[in-house]
Amino acid sequence: MFHFHKEGYKIIAVTALITFGGILLAHYYIGNFWLMKSVQLVLLVFLVLILQFFRNPKRLTQINDDQIIAPVDGKVVVIEEVEETEYFKDKRLQVSIFMSPINVHVTRYALSGVVKYSKYHPGKYLVAWHPKASTDNERTTIVVENNTFGEVLYRQIAGALAKRIVNYAVEGQKVIQGTDAGFIKFGSRVDVFLPLGTPLRVKLGDKVKGGIQVIAEKK
């Protein structure tokens, strides 16, 4: 069964009304057959794009405290040691996953544990792969602590098209790996900050699937 994320219900309903209303108007008020069909096709394609953007495929996560899973679908665009200045204020291993508009945009918890920190930051809308997007764009920062990795930070980052980040993490909340952690609308990226020396299971350019693919593992 095809599922849609709850954050898209209103947008899907409005788009469907506009689409089917436009199709009827085109049928009755555009005399040229091919022009009418072209307008109707464009409206249907737009509706399909909205539906695919808000799709929420069910993922069967194999819960494992020794593993960090990809929080989102997308492409690994950054793997490097960086200074994390907001929470840890020391060096961390950053893994960044870029989501194109055609990727599933559900954010899932990369590990089980307790939410230690959750904060929203207003900001710019630089393209998501910009080096300063992690610190200058609209974003949310969440830290989850578990017994194996300690504290792991992930950051939802808005892109040039993303104008709304939804974050469900609440400080003190116990969360389960692979469950729904939020949503980012219309193009974005997620950065994950791991302890230095964490063994990775991905490399630059890899395409990952949120809720399933392991990006780091302690054996």
pLDDT score of 174 more than 60: yes
Q: Is residue 1 part of a domain?
A: no
The pLDDT of residue 127? 60
Query: pLDDT tens digits for 127-143?
Result: 655 566 666 678 899 99
Give the Cα separation of 95 and 84 in Å (integer). Answer: 12
Across the beta sheet with 106-108, the strand order is: 106-108, 180-185, 164-167
pLDDT-derived band of residue 155, with 50, 70 and 90 as boundaries?
Answer: very high
> In terms of domains, do 33 and 105 share one?
no
> In terms of domains, do 14 and 105 share one?
no
> In terms of domains, do 85 and 166 share one?
yes
Q: Is residue 94 part of a domain?
A: yes
Q: Is residue 145 part of a domain?
A: yes
Q: Is residue 208 part of a domain?
A: yes
Q: Is residue 34 part of a domain?
A: yes
> In terms of domains, do 130 and 29 share one?
no
Looking up tokens 């898209």 gives 8
Show the domain range for 166. 67-217
Give the Cα separation of 36 and 167 in Å (integer). Answer: 42
> In terms of domains, do 180 and 140 share one?
yes
Two structure tokens written together for 87: 């929470």
Instruction: Say which CATH number the domain at 73 has.
Output: 2.70.70.10
Mean pLDDT taken over the chain: 88
DSSP 8-state secondary structure symbol assigned to residue 39 = H
pLDDT score of 35 more than 80: yes
More confident position, 127 or 171: 171
Give the Cα separation of 185 and 133 in Å (integer). Answer: 16
Q: Is residue 80 part of a domain?
A: yes
134 is catalytic: no
pLDDT score of 163 more than 60: no
- Give the pLDDT mean for 193-202: 95
The pLDDT of residue 52? 82
Q: Is residue 174 part of a domain?
A: yes
Q: Is residue 61 part of a domain?
A: no
> In terms of domains, do 28 and 132 share one?
no
pLDDT score of 102 more than 90: no
> In terms of domains, do 17 and 124 share one?
no
**Beta-ladder partners of 81:** 93
Query: How many structural domains does the chain have?
Result: 2
> In terms of domains, do 42 and 72 share one?
no
Two structure tokens written together for 54: 């808000």
> In terms of domains, do 212 and 121 share one?
yes
Give the Cα separation of 141 and 8 in Å (integer). Answer: 23
Counting every residue, how long is the chain? Answer: 219
> In terms of domains, do 76 and 141 share one?
yes
User: Over pLDDT 90: what percentage of the chain?
Assistant: 63
Closest CA to 186 of 88, 77, 54, 81: 54
Write down the catalytic residue from 96, 112, 134, 188: 188
- Strands 180-185 and 164-167 come out as antiparallel
> In terms of domains, do 34 and 72 share one?
no
The pLDDT of residue 180? 93
Its pTM stands at: 0.83
The pLDDT of residue 124? 67
- Give the pLDDT mean for 71-76: 94
> In terms of domains, do 178 and 77 share one?
yes
The pLDDT of residue 212? 93
